[in-house]
Each structure stands twice: as structure tokens, then as C-alpha cells.
Amino acid sequence: MFPNLKNPVFTDADDLNEIARQLRRDVINMLLLSKSGHSGGPLGLADIFAALYFNKLSLLPEDPLNNERDFVFLSIGHVAPIWYATLSRRGFFPTEELKTLRKVNGRLQGHPAPLKTHGLPGVEIASGALGQGLSIAVGAALGLRLSGKPNHVYCICGDGELGEGQIWEAAMTADHHKTDNLTVIIDRNHCQIDNRTEKVLKLEPLADKWSAFGFEVFEMDGHNMKEILETLDKVKKVKGKPTAIIAHTKMGRGVSFMEDDYKWHGVPPNDEQGKIALSELAPTKYGDFVDYYGGK
């Protein structure tokens, strides 16, 4: 059992909310510096990433490939900025490196690449080709079970991504093999790159679909920290079947002009918009990795 699991970085919801706000500030600063990247999804997932990495996951930043670690597969690779900010703040690499988002020859590319190829600790696989992450997560869960290991596997998927048939093939496989060491977290923000999800391809009744595919299904407010923590505890207690969490979130959470607007799926803020966003996301005690952005 890892010391971090026995003694999580934060146990109080207020502390986790504070780090989530810092992660959102980091995302905005990264996008302002890179002038490229995705805004909406990363901001919407900050609370869930804070809960996972600062309270729930079994991990050691100084030993990212430790055999007892929990596994996280980010199937929606384009939301990489929130993952990079989280890994950095959790101690996997220096926050100074967040300045290099999408830079040529840098480790923080637009879609994540793993330690073994790009040297980025905390990332297991390259991802971003939508629909593939759950298949990999199911394989990892099966491999761990065959090895008799207690590690838990988490796969984070987007709701728009659920239009990919491979997701449901993987879900059937997970059910068939009763992978109770697997949890799928679905970012249910109702937005994808070109419209609302229900206009692109109807997903509802989404909980019923996952239940029909053999999953124990939970729903939560993806911005209520206490509810997030409670739900993440519940999935670990389920035996004999995989679990799915439908996390109801808002794209662009925390920035008024981005919230719940699919048009912010894949564009960064400009300088003026960034100034407004950072003013709405009040400074935290952790401090930004760059001075207030002004072209410096």
C-alpha cells in the first residue's frame, strides 16, 4: 500500500477545490502561451482530476512505473492540458515545463505520449485517436487480474467519443470478463467539436445503455467535490462487474463566456479573453508557473 494512498495529499473538499481552481488557471496560462489547444474540456474536468490525483489514486510521482500503481488512460487525448497541469502540480515534472505546451521537440504535445517514447512520466500510452482508450484499459485490467495484482484501472472518455463503435466493443468485452478492477469515467458535458452531442448523435438514455452492457452505473455532479469523492469510493466496492461513472460537467467550467458552449471545444482564448478568464479564476495560494500573461 502506497503512503500516498494511506495519507492522500488532500482529504478536505475545500483544499481539493482550491487545487482544481489552480489547475484551471494553469490550463488558461498554458493555452495563452501556446496560442493553440483545447479549452472547454480541460476546464470541465479539473475537479475530477484533482480528486483522482490528489486524493484517490495509488501512485508515486518519483516512481511513475511502480508495479503497484493505479492506471489512468485518457482516451480523450485532446484534453491533455488538464492532465499535464495535474501531473506537474502532483510532482511528476516541474511546473516550469508547462510553458512548453505544443512546442516542437517538447514533451507536452497536443495529444499525450508516454514515458517510454517521450519521457513524460505519468502517461501510459499515446492517445487521442478517439474510441481506442477503453479497449486498452480493458486489456490492462485483464492483464492485472491474470497477474493477481490489486491495481485499479481508470479510463476517461468523452461523451462525444461514445459515437465510436470500438467503445461498445470494449464495453462488451469488459462485461464478458467481469473486469471489476475497471472504472470508466464519462465526461458528460453534452458538447463536442461541432454541436451539442444530442444533435450530432443521440446518446440518451446513456445510463441505461451502460447498464445494458453489464456495467454498474453511477452518476455524479462532476463539479461537486464531495460527491466526486463519494462516487470514486463506491466504484471500488463493486465486485463481479465493471463500473461506469457518468460525470455531469460543464464545458469551460469556471470561465463565464466558455461555460456550456461547444464552440470552445478546440480553441484557446486570445489575450483579452485570457485576462478575463484569469480574473474569474481567482488566484490561489499555489501561485502560477508564469507571471500574469502579457506577452512576456
Q: Could you tell me the CATH number of the domain that includes residue 118?
A: 3.40.50.970
pLDDT bin (cut points 50, 70, 90) of residue 254 is very high
> Is 291 inside a domain boundary?
no
Omega prior to 268 cis, within 30 of 0: no
Alpha carbons 136 and 129: distance in angstroms, whole number:
12
Average pLDDT of the chain? 94
Closest CA to 24 of 272, 286, 230, 221: 286
Question: What value does the CA radius of gyration of the chain take, rounded to a whole number of Å?
Answer: 18
Q: Are 68 and 149 in contact (CB under 8 A)?
A: yes
Confidence band for 114, pLDDT divided at 50, 70 and 90: confident
Q: Is the pLDDT of residue 3 over 90?
A: no
Residue 296, in any domain of the structure:
no
> Does 107 reside within a domain?
yes
At residue 114, φ and ψ (nearest 5 deg) are -85, 170
Is residue 267 assigned to a domain? Answer: yes
Q: Residues 17-24: what's their mean pLDDT?
A: 98
Rounded-to-integer distance, Cα 272 and Cα 293, Å: 10
| Predicted pLDDT at 87 | 97
Q: How far apart are CA 55 and CA 12, in angstroms?
A: 9
Instruction: Say if 75 falls within a structural domain.
Output: yes
pLDDT at 291 over 90: no
Q: How far apart are CA 42 and CA 191, in angstroms?
A: 13
Burial of 205 (0-12, 13-18, 19+ CB in 10 A): exposed
pLDDT bin (cut points 50, 70, 90) of residue 128 is: confident
The answer, yes or no, to whether residue 4 has pLDDT greater than 80, is: no
120's CB contacts (< 8 A; 6+ apart) are: 87, 93, 107, 108, 112, 113, 114
For residue 3, being part of any structural domain is answered with: no
Position 293 scores a pLDDT of: 56
Q: Report yes or no: 258 and 284 within 8 Å, Cβ to Cβ.
A: no
Residues spanned by the domain of 260: 8-61+68-280
Pairing assessment for the beta strands 195-196 and 191-192 based on DSSP bridges? antiparallel
Q: Do 275 and 267 touch, CB atoms closer than 8 A?
A: no
Q: Is the pLDDT of residue 47 over 80?
A: yes
- Asked whether the beta carbons of 46 and 284 are under 8 A apart, the reply is no
Number of domains in the chain: 1
d(CA 58, CA 3): 9
Instruction: Give domain status of residue 108, yes or no.
Output: yes
Tell me the C-alpha distance between 72 and 136, whole Å.
11
Question: Residue 63: what residue type?
Answer: D
- Greatest pairwise CA separation for the chain in angstroms: 54
pLDDT for the residue 292: 56
Tens-place pLDDT, residues 56-108: 999 999 999 999 999 999 999 999 999 999 999 999 999 999 999 999 989 99
Q: Measure the CA dihedral 238/240/241/243, to 10°.
A: 20
For 255-282, write each residue's pLDDT tens digit: 999 999 999 999 999 999 999 999 999 9
| Domain-embedded: residue 137 | yes
**What is the model's pLDDT at position 296?**
45
- Per-residue pLDDT tens over the stretch 219-247: 999 999 999 999 999 999 999 999 999 99
